[in-house]
Chain A
Amino acid sequence: MMDIIISALGQLADPTVLLFLLAGVVIGIIIGVIPGLGGTGAVAVLMPFIFMLEPNQAIAMIIGAVAVVHTSDVITSVVLGIPGSASASVFLLDGYKMAQKGEGARALSASFIASTIGGLFGIVALTLVVPIAKPIVTSFGSPEIFSLIVAGVFLTAMLSKGNMTKGLMVALFGLALGFVGVSPISAEYRFTFGMESLSDGLNLVVVALGIFGLAEMISLIAHKTAISNQKVDLGAGWRKGFRDILRYPFDVLRGSIVGTAVGFLPGVGSTAGAWLSYGQAQAFASRKGDSQFGEGDVRGVIAPSAASNGIESGALIPTLIFGVPGAAPFALLLGVLLVFGIQPGPAMMTKHLDLVYFIVWAFALASIAGAVLSFALARPLARLSFVPFPILAAALIPILFMSGFQGPIDLNTFYMMLFFGLIGWLCKACDIPRAPFLIAFVLAEPLERYFFLTVKVYEPTQWMTRPFVMVVIFILVAAVVLPLIQSHLKKRKGDDAQAQAAIAEADGKEATNKVRLVTSLVFLGFFILWLALATGYSGNGGLFPKTVGVVGIAIALLAIMLDIKKLKAAPDTEETITKWRHTLVTVAVSTAWVLFFIWSVFAIGMLAATAIFALVFLLAVARMKPVNAVIYTAGITASIWAMESLAHMVLPVGYLQIFMG
């Protein structure tokens, strides 16, 4: 065993591999900093490059990005009061308060160090679990994988933080879309409407880039000013943060444990995990009697930081050992591993153990490198948030679309990305979590596959009584029951964790209650249509779509009832309606800009369209000085050109290119 561990380190010591690891770290740090774009965005942007690299290099790069994205997303949360990612919203409380007190540097340094320790803790856990995992793996069959996937889908939605109905509803929506394409068990086309673009199903990168990346941008483009108007003064105190870690080692440890455990359970997610960690740190602190939580207690930064990274490394466990994505970015990692013909799951333990340890080492190195880089870059990075978002958007829109295009090599992808971008924005506005959607979308096909593989091979009594399956069922039941118990306890303690949960999803939620109701109605309509279409498919091929349709209708009805109740309790005020209308208009304008870009690409191809779009956009929306705009546009266009010639990505062609032969 030791020799495999050492040899894996040796594989990592290859300079090109280290180079790509570092590249991944740099990209992960940058994307983590940019508000809104998170781990999925980083991996999605990297994905096209994957095809050009050796497997070791590619995996190192992805791990590099994923390992550090939760290290740097704390920066904007602390410094500017804007969450770098959903899970980083937890830092808006104590972290931001500390910055306002002039202790920003202290908060950041404590966070970076805690993040690294949390990540390393998860890696150690993974290493320890791997040898024990082997015997489990050889007796690991379809029933075990199936039960775990069910757990993943289930838990994802269940832990949507007090938003269970909407979480379930959007998870079912994700499941439904995951069934578009050829059925893995009956080889029939489902929900493709005869369109070739859909016959292979919806592309994961396109969906992810749309619903997370583009959705963020559609909302943020609307704000023409910089994201923050505050003065940046991080203050002294970098060393103070370090001393805080030494003073509160148990908070670091508990945060790491919570994070790793949460990461281990597929689908729980980093947002829930970060908040859970915050909650437990607060509980322990008030018992200790010196709690300053809510006023700038550094433990409110340490615990979630350790947890966030612990989650990422803990999530490697189900991803690698069981083939089930432990977190949204790992859904993409799974896809990448499969591209290289590596079947994550039981096979990995027997065939690719050295790769597992390679990933372990890569993660560890990346965590440390990420912390170092974060320290070095905190100050200039924070300045990016002062750049008016339209300036960033001029570069990000072409890049995002370029990335999304690489998978299917089909320009209808652009429409799909925009479509998902709008759906993502709508979800944000209606406070519908999107992570359950993505994880359900990824797990839809495996869920169906392994269901049939299980029930066609075993009798129900045979597979449901297998030890692992029973353990998973138990965990699922506990996951439902425990939060109920916890919320009872919280009610007794008068904890304001609920109120804090309400603050969490800081941006978005502009939808009026009426709009939320309408959205739920739209979902209902979707599920009804879905069910109607599903009845046309064969017995086996139609089973899952029909089930999703039926359950979807039920949940949507429930959501509608809850929305009606909410509407009655808190009718929309003039203020909220005006705010919503304003948001709608700005989103429409953003969409128009994106359409302008898309149609330009259709007309004259990617390079020319990028140049024209960037220039016009910078002049009109960002109000940049013409000279600066031209220089910046040249830079953006050069980057796209570099993506084609250096990274061998495919450049979309327009009618102009076709016409010219």
Chain B
Amino acid sequence: MMSLSNQNKPKSKFSARRLLKALALTTVMGVVACAPPQSNYKPTGEGVVDVMVPYGSGGGTDTWARFITQAFADINPDVRRYQVVNVPGGETITGTNAFVKSGVTNGQYVMVGSATTYFQDMLDHKAVQFDFAKMEPLAFNGTGGVVWTNGNKTGIKNINDLKNAKEEWLYGGMSASGLDLIALLALEALGVPNRGVFGFEGRGPTRLAVLRGETALDFQTTSTYLSQLADNVKTGEVVPLFSMGIPVNGKIERDPNLPDIPTFEELYQQIGGKTDHQRKAYQAFQAFVATGLYYQKGLWANEGTDPAVIDKYDAMVKQLNADEAFMKKAKEALGGYQLISGKEAKADFNKALKVDPETMDFIAKLLLEKYGTAIH
């Protein structure tokens, strides 16, 4: 019986010789076993400036990048168009690393950075191979923000109610090491008893959470606040506590879009007898609010870029800001704020980038112990 079935078995197609051939082929192939990097600089061509966007296509930063580069192309006769290349991955580190590696200094390759990327640099992420202090900013677009609460659910009418609270108020955010860090540092500096819950999937959910009464405090950008929340101030449902303000000639002034809301700076200066903890939080706040909000989105060029390129963008920014028709059209895209010349803001930005080790320790400790967040 056994032998019969063996005889009827079809002859194996996989003879030794074929196996050997396959093996040889496999070895050759094995040489290319490592996946080639996909983000190497590939100039598109004459008259086209390539833009590295280390964010996913369709996201907020990507949309801004496409909008602003289109605006620049429209007023620059030397540039036909900008070609956006999306390289999301490694939490924006992959694309930024690739950009810096290219070493292009003639202005034909630029990059768009946003708060997330700056924070990676400032928080000393291990995989970071770039240094924004060395790179050349071309243009910035900042945003303002508001910390608010639901007056009807929490009974808080103003910031003093908050500071004198007996228990900790709950702040709902996305991630303590992201933009929420700014709001948290502000609350700490003002001496507001708080605890945080993170993991909300966006600023929409955090907003709903406050409206529902699940959380007490939330941070929203100016444009969202104005479009979704400002109308409910009169019912007492929405109580703005303080805004982040905007920097004007080195001083923090009230946000022109939110003239009735006091700034964090105002409130902080009013405090007599600040504790050491509050002072440290204030220092940390200064560093992160600048890169995170005042200069949130930026167009960047590599270290050592031709000064003529930088001057060109300086001129273009001023031209766009003066163009009323453009500013009107750009209101949504720019969040209602003007463009800032990279050349002019560079010193301020670099100052903010330098977080001294003591402050870094303070932040790392605060994040870990109070908010359960580990910085890489």
Residues of A within 8 A of B (CB): 51, 138-139, 141-142, 182, 184-189, 196-197, 199-200, 339-340, 343, 346-347, 408-412, 414-415, 448-449, 452-453, 456-457, 538-541, 585, 589, 592, 595-596, 599-600, 602-603, 650, 652-655, 658
Among A200, A538, A652, A658, contact of B374 (Cβ-Cβ < 8 Å): A538
Give residues of chain B (87-105) contacting chain A, Cβ–Cβ below 8 Å.
87-91, 93-94
- List the 8 shortest-distance A-B pairs measured between CB atoms, nearest first: A411-B35, A599-B29, A196-B90, A456-B197, A185-B199, A188-B374, A449-B199, A184-B199
Known: A186-B374, A409-B88, A602-B34. A658 touches B40 (CB 8 A): yes
Q: Do B58 and A51 touch across chains, with their CB atoms under 8 A apart?
A: yes
The interface-forming segment of B208-216, B239-247, B296-304 is B208-216
Q: Do A343 and B176 touch across chains, with their CB atoms under 8 A apart?
A: no
Q: Do B200 and A453 touch across chains, with their CB atoms under 8 A apart?
A: yes
Question: Can you name 12 extra interface pairs (CB under 8 A) apart from A142-B209, A412-B35, A658-B40?
Answer: A142-B214, A185-B198, A186-B373, A187-B175, A196-B93, A200-B91, A411-B35, A452-B198, A453-B200, A599-B30, A602-B33, A602-B34
Query: Once the chains are docked, how many angstroms separate the CA of A589 from the CA of B176?
Result: 49
Among A339, A409, A415, A457, contact of B38 (Cβ-Cβ < 8 Å): A409
At the interface, yes or no: B86 with Cβ under 8 Å from chain A?
Answer: yes
What is the count of residue pairs linking A and B with beta-carbon distances less than 8 angstroms? 132
Query: Who on chain B is nearest to A602 by CB?
Result: B32
Query: Once the chains are docked, how many angstroms separate the CA of A317 from the CA of B229?
Result: 29
Q: Do B89 and A449 touch across chains, with their CB atoms under 8 A apart?
A: no
Count the B residues whose beta carbon is within 8 Å of the partner chain — how many? Answer: 52
A480 to chain B, nearest CB (A): 29
Q: Which residues of B contact A410 (CB under 8 A)?
A: 35, 38, 89
Q: Do A595 and B170 touch across chains, with their CB atoms under 8 A apart?
A: no
Q: Do B58 and A339 touch across chains, with their CB atoms under 8 A apart?
A: yes
Known: A347-B204, A602-B36. A196 touches B94 (CB 8 A): yes
Query: Once the chains are docked, how many angstroms separate the CA of A343 from the CA of B200?
Result: 12
Query: Once the chains are docked, how many angstroms separate the CA of A346 from the CA of B204?
Result: 11
Q: Do A343 and B373 touch across chains, with their CB atoms under 8 A apart?
A: no
Query: Once the chains are docked, how many angstroms separate the CA of A138 from the CA of B213?
Result: 11
Known: A409-B89, A410-B38, A538-B372. A449 touches B32 (CB 8 A): no
Name 14 A/B residue pairs within 8 A (Cβ), A-sorted: A142-B209, A182-B91, A184-B198, A187-B374, A347-B205, A410-B38, A414-B35, A452-B199, A453-B199, A538-B374, A592-B22, A596-B25, A653-B40, A654-B36
B211 to chain A, nearest CB (A): 9
Q: Do B35 and A343 touch across chains, with their CB atoms under 8 A apart?
A: no
Query: Who on chain B is nearest to A185 by CB?
Result: B199
Query: Once the chains are docked, how many angstroms separate the CA of A414 from the CA of B36?
Result: 11
Query: Who on chain B is nearest to A539 by CB?
Result: B372
Query: Once the chains are docked, how many angstroms separate the CA of A461 from the CA of B38?
Result: 51
Q: Do A449 and B201 touch across chains, with their CB atoms under 8 A apart?
A: yes
Q: Which residues of B contact A603 (CB under 8 A)?
A: 32
Query: Once the chains are docked, how many angstroms separate the CA of A186 from the CA of B201?
Result: 14
Known: A196-B89, A197-B89. A452 touches B374 (CB 8 A): no
At the interface, yes or no: B375 with Cβ under 8 Å from chain A?
Answer: yes
At the interface, yes or no: B315 with Cβ under 8 Å from chain A?
Answer: no
Query: Once the chains are docked, how many angstroms separate the CA of A347 from the CA of B372?
Result: 28
Among A187, A452, A589, contact of B197 (Cβ-Cβ < 8 Å): A452
Among B34, B170, B176, B376, contact of A457 (Cβ-Cβ < 8 Å): B170
Q: Which residues of B contact A182 (CB under 8 A)?
A: 91
Query: Once the chains are docked, how many angstroms separate the CA of A654 from the CA of B197?
Result: 44
Residues of B within 8 A of A (CB): 14, 22, 25-26, 29-30, 32-40, 42, 56-58, 86-91, 93-94, 127, 170, 175-178, 197-202, 204-205, 208-209, 212, 214-215, 368, 372-376
Query: Who on chain B is nearest to A340 by CB?
Result: B58
Query: Once the chains are docked, how many angstroms separate the CA of A479 from the CA of B94?
Result: 46
Query: Once the chains are docked, how many angstroms separate the CA of A412 from the CA of B38?
Result: 10
Tell me what chain A mostly uses at the interface: helix, strand, loop, or mixed.
helix
Q: Which residues of B contact A650 (CB under 8 A)?
A: 38
Query: Who on chain A is nearest to B2 by CB?
Result: A574
Query: Once the chains are docked, how many angstroms separate the CA of A409 from the CA of B42?
Result: 15
Query: Who on chain B is nearest to A578 by CB?
Result: B9
Query: Once the chains are docked, how many angstroms separate the CA of A51 from the CA of B214?
Result: 34
Q: Do B208 and A411 touch across chains, with their CB atoms under 8 A apart?
A: no
Known: A187-B177, A596-B25. A411 touches B199 (CB 8 A): no
Q: Which residues of A contact B177 (CB under 8 A)?
A: 187
Tell me what chain B mostly uses at the interface: helix, strand, loop, or mixed.
loop
Q: Do B175 and A408 touch across chains, with their CB atoms under 8 A apart?
A: no
Q: Which residues of B contact A343 (CB under 8 A)?
A: 201-202, 204-205
Q: Do B372 and A652 touch across chains, with their CB atoms under 8 A apart?
A: no
Query: Once the chains are docked, how many angstroms separate the CA of A377 from the CA of B323?
Result: 58
Q: Which residues of B contact A539 (CB under 8 A)?
A: 372
| Most B-side CB within 10 Å, residue of A343, A456, A602 | A456
Q: Do B91 and A415 touch across chains, with their CB atoms under 8 A apart?
A: no
Q: Which residues of A contact B89 (CB under 8 A)?
A: 196-197, 199-200, 408-410
Query: Once the chains are docked, how many angstroms separate the CA of A555 from the CA of B313?
Result: 62
Q: Do B36 and A196 touch across chains, with their CB atoms under 8 A apart?
A: no
Known: A184-B175, A200-B91, A343-B205. A541 touches B35 (CB 8 A): no
Query: Who on chain B is nearest to A408 by CB?
Result: B89
Q: Which residues of B contact A540 (CB under 8 A)?
A: 372
Known: A185-B198, A599-B29. A347 touches B376 (CB 8 A): no
Q: Which residues of B contact A585 (CB under 8 A)?
A: 14
Q: Which residues of A contact B200 (CB under 8 A)?
A: 449, 453
B363 to chain A, nearest CB (A): 13
Q: Which residues of A contact B36 (CB under 8 A)?
A: 411, 602, 653-655, 658
Query: Once the chains are docked, how many angstroms separate the CA of A168 from the CA of B258?
Result: 53
Q: Which residues of B contact A141 (CB under 8 A)?
A: 209, 212, 214
Query: Once the chains are docked, how many angstroms separate the CA of A453 from the CA of B208?
Result: 13
Q: Do A592 and B26 touch across chains, with their CB atoms under 8 A apart?
A: yes
A578 to chain B, nearest CB (A): 8
Known: A538-B374, A602-B36, A653-B38. A409 touches B86 (CB 8 A): yes
Query: Once the chains are docked, how many angstroms separate the CA of A592 from the CA of B29?
Result: 11
Among B30, B35, B90, contact of A200 (Cβ-Cβ < 8 Å): B90
Q: Which residues of A contact B176 (CB under 8 A)?
A: 187
Q: Which residues of B contact A188 (CB under 8 A)?
A: 373-374, 376
Q: Which residues of B contact A340 (CB under 8 A)?
A: 58
Q: Which residues of A contact B214 (CB under 8 A)?
A: 141-142, 453, 457
Query: Once the chains are docked, how many angstroms separate the CA of A146 from the CA of B372?
Result: 21
Q: Do B87 and A409 touch across chains, with their CB atoms under 8 A apart?
A: yes
Q: Which residues of B contact A200 (CB under 8 A)?
A: 88-91
Among A138, A185, A595, contact of B29 (Cβ-Cβ < 8 Å): A595
Q: Which residues of B contact A600 (CB under 8 A)?
A: 29
Q: Do B32 and A655 touch across chains, with their CB atoms under 8 A apart?
A: yes
Q: Which residues of B contact A346 (CB under 8 A)?
A: 208
Q: Which residues of A contact B33 (CB under 8 A)?
A: 599, 602
Q: Which residues of B contact A51 (CB under 8 A)?
A: 57-58
Query: Once the chains are docked, how many angstroms separate the CA of A602 from the CA of B38?
Result: 10
Q: Which residues of A contact B205 (CB under 8 A)?
A: 343, 347
Query: Who on chain B is nearest to A345 by CB?
Result: B205
Query: Once the chains are docked, how many angstroms separate the CA of A340 from the CA of B209?
Result: 22
Q: Which residues of B contact A596 (CB under 8 A)?
A: 25, 29
Query: Once the chains are docked, how many angstroms separate the CA of A182 from the CA of B242?
Result: 31
A181 to chain B, nearest CB (A): 9
Among A138, A185, A189, A653, contact of B376 (Cβ-Cβ < 8 Å): A189
Query: Once the chains are docked, how many angstroms separate the CA of A409 from the CA of B14?
Result: 37
Q: Which residues of A contact B26 (CB under 8 A)?
A: 592, 595
B98 to chain A, nearest CB (A): 11
B196 to chain A, nearest CB (A): 9
Query: Once the chains are docked, how many angstroms separate the CA of A539 from the CA of B30?
Result: 41
Query: Who on chain A is nearest to B198 by CB?
Result: A185
Query: Who on chain B is nearest to A540 by CB?
Result: B372
Query: Once the chains are docked, how many angstroms separate the CA of A343 from the CA of B22?
Result: 50
Query: Who on chain B is nearest to A189 by CB?
Result: B376
Query: Once the chains are docked, how many angstroms separate the CA of A546 from the CA of B271?
Result: 45
Q: Which residues of A contact B197 (CB under 8 A)?
A: 452-453, 456-457
Query: Once the chains are docked, how many angstroms separate the CA of A121 from the CA of B86?
Result: 42
Among B37, B56, B375, contact of A187 (Cβ-Cβ < 8 Å): B375
